[in-house]
Structure 1
């Protein structure tokens, strides 16, 4: 059986790195992975993690999702320009009050997280349509479903991704193409650490005292606890994604974190949209002790579940 060509973006660290390594080490050798990154000088971690797959089932290439010429050059370098599975993973985060963020910073997030995907598809989608074969996998977020305090712009970028893919999926069916949105909750990576560090440096002089206090003493104060309670590893996300790309009929949406699912389900429980906003408000501002106790309980559940966390593997 011919190997499927998998192109992955944002592979220098975190989820992208784990995705590239997991898929390249597929037990049945079903995939040839082209792991891409904007800056090849940051490929050392991937080279080390790839081990013996490097040069066999994994190759590293340069690709900047914000540069159309870079995308075209990468795709042109592939045998017959063929991409069977595109995994759009490259992204960036931004936290804090919008009064403290510039429009340019916001545009950069949208340009990477949303238009980066659009640029990729403008280059790759026509060939998939012509072959009437292909799988587009997007590493989205639960924040593409449910907005979170002080993640306004990041959530907006993921909402844009979700709406774009939901619209495109209808057309894709006509061409026998598959689209899957992978929706993690918190994931413990260097990416998240950098977002937190940047958030700590936020100049709050442009915002009112109450908002500054909410960001510093509620959001940032609980940030690490939320990740330690609910956070998955990049390897968890890679395992879920590997499962999705090996399924005959993959789902359009797939949430990776069962502990987080009840929170996103609130949105579908009330068509008016008031329920999730009201509950989140009360959790954060009126029942903070219950909120913290809940996080500690979830941390215990996460610790207990790590040993038993498995995904059914495809039958041999």
Structure 2
């Protein structure tokens, strides 16, 4: 299989590229700076193609997809977080997160779909987050980007199913990647938020980098296994924290639905 991975220089993207290449798969590894992938090219010269790709640049998206050749699996991994209460964020920070995490992922997906549709097959892996199901106070725009990606991807899965194309939305909890390191952007704090939930999250994230319970290698292996499985679910949570938090959210949401069901249904009359 030929895998096309965005954001391959670090985090899940890097671990996935290394794991796939070690398994004998073919990888198109992309990064804003392809020199960060030089060691992979040196080690697997016949199995990896390193390409420059800024997912916010439409010309680079088209050029990378054209250069990649037939793509069996697309992994939209490029992205980063933005820590701060909604009021603390600048317009530029908001636009940047949405451009990379949401619009960039959709642009690459749309560029790859014509060839998958023509071949009547393929698999699209969208790297979301537990933050795509639960909106943490202090991480509102990150949640916005991932909630939106999940909605688009859920609709997409139904649109492309008749063409033999599958979609998997991956929802990791805390894993030992660079997410809380170089991949995290931070807003300038407003003092009033420091003692509230947004400040609590800021303080928590400051202590978690490198201490997260999740093993990126195990996560990547689960994703690869899901792609190879004919019965993979649409959504794949990863890590105990993700499972427990998503389960609690869905139970609370269902309880809210049942509590207002009678009033809600009466609105039809």
* TM-score relative to the length of structure 2: 0.87
- How many equivalent residue pairs? 257
Quickly say closer, same or farther: Cα 1:216–1:111, change in 2 above 3 A: closer
TM-aligned CA deviation for residue 161 of structure 1? 0.5
**Kept after mapping to 2: 8 A contact 1:97/1:215:** no
> What SS does the aligned partner of 1:94 have?
strand
Provide the C-alpha distance between the structure 1 equivalents of 2:195 and 2:256, rounded to a whole number of angstroms. Answer: 25
> 2:139 & 2:203 partners in 1: Cα distance?
15
Query: Are 1:48 and 2:39 matched, yes or no?
Result: yes
Change (3 A) 1:190 1:50: farther
1:203 matches 2:152: no
Instruction: State the shift of 1:228 in Å.
Output: 6.4
**Kept after mapping to 2: 8 A contact 1:22/1:242:** no
Whether the 8 Å CA contact 1:6–1:32 is kept in 2: the answer is yes
Deviation larger for 177-186 or 69-78: 69-78
- Aligned with residue 258 of structure 1, among 240, 251, 265: 240
Mapped partners of 1:212, 1:259: distance in 2: 25
Cα deviation code 1:242-267 (max 9, x no counterpart): 21222123221111112431111122
Q: Deviations over 1:132-172 (max 9, x none)?
A: 10000111101111111201000110000000000111111
- Do structure 1's residue 249 and structure 2's residue 231 form an aligned pair? yes
Change beyond 3 A, Cα 1:237–1:51: farther
Selected match of 2:48 from 41, 44, 58: 58
1:69 to 2:66 alignment:
no
Which structure dedicates a bigger proportion of its chain to strand? 2
Where structure 2 has 5 or more consecutive residues not aligned to the other structure, the ranges are 258-269
Residue 63 to residue 203, structure 1, CA distance change in 2 (3 Å): closer
* Structure 1 segments unaligned to the other structure (5+ residues): 276-316
CA distance in 2, matches of 1:173, 1:195: 33
The correspondence for 1:139, drawn from 122, 127, 130, is: 127
- SS of 1:193's equivalent? coil
TM-score by length of 1: 0.75
CA distance in 2, matches of 1:212, 1:195: 22
CA contact (8 A) 2:7 2:77 kept: yes
1: distance between equivalents of 2:156 and 2:110?
A: 12
Match of 1:302 in 2: none
Aligned residue in 2 for 1:182 = 170
Change (3 A) 1:272 1:109: same
Q: Provide the C-alpha distance between the structure 1 equivalents of 2:86 and 2:111, rounded to a whole number of angstroms.
A: 33
Q: Which residue of 2 aligns with 1:301?
A: none
Q: Quick check: 1:7–1:33 contact (8 Å CA) kept in 2?
A: yes
* Matched residue, 2:10: 13
CA distance in 1, matches of 2:180, 2:173: 12
Equivalent pair of 2:193/2:199 in contact (CA under 8 Å): no
1:237 pairs with 2:222 = no
